[in-house]
């Protein structure tokens, strides 16, 4: 397996983890800090936990499915088809998934998470 295959498997694993995190949040109320919250935030900073999970759930699930789809496209293409068009389609799907995730993350943080003061108090 070449470097491209390894990267495809890493994307596949990250897509699976996004889906797992979304499902755990929806069904058990567990917010995955490394997926849904920034480094300097924790669950206690979420103003409306149920609303936050509802907002994030479908969009993170969609991004995870898209990343898995793109990874499968790349793996099949790398080992069997060898089409430059499929490579670009896979890249476009991953970029779109990352855009959806990033927008959702930023907007969810803005609406539902109390922002901590990043300046040191003297």
For 68-89, the pLDDT digits (tens) are: 999 999 999 989 999 999 999 9
Average pLDDT over the chain, rounded to an integer: 90
What is the spatial distance between Cα 4 and Cα 15, in angstroms, rounded to a whole number? 16
- What 3-state class would DSSP assign to 113? strand
Residue 53's closest CA among 15, 88, 14, 104? 104
Report the 10 Å Cβ neighbour count for 21: 22
pLDDT (average), residues 56-77: 96
Tell whether the model's pLDDT for residue 122 goes beyond 70. Answer: no
pLDDT (average), residues 31-54: 91
Report the 10 Å Cβ neighbour count for 63: 26
Tell whether the model's pLDDT for residue 121 goes beyond 60. Answer: no
Q: Are the CB atoms for 3 and 62 separated by under 8 Å?
A: no
Count of the separate structural domains present in the chain: 1
In-domain check, residue 40: no
Q: Which domain holds residue 72?
A: 3-33+45-112
Residue 1: per-residue pLDDT: 60
Tell whether the model's pLDDT for residue 49 goes beyond 80. Answer: yes
Residue 63: per-residue pLDDT: 97
Residue 91: per-residue pLDDT: 95
């Amino acid at each position: 397996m070449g470097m491209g295959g390894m990267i495809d498997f890493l994307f596949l694993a990250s897509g699976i983890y996004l889906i797992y995190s979304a499902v755990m949040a929806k069904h058990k109320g567990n917010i995955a800090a490394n997926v849904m919250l920034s480094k300097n935030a924790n669950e206690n900073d979420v103003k409306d936990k149920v609303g936050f999970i509802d907002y994030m759930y479908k969009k993170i699930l969609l991004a995870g499915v898209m990343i898995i789809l793109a990874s499968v496209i790349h793996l099949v293409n790398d080992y069997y088809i060898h089409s430059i068009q499929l490579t670009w389609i896979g890249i476009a799907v991953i970029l779109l998934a990352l855009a959806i995730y990033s927008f959702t993350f930023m907007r969810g943080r803005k609406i539902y998470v109390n922002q901590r003061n990043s300046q040191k108090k003297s």
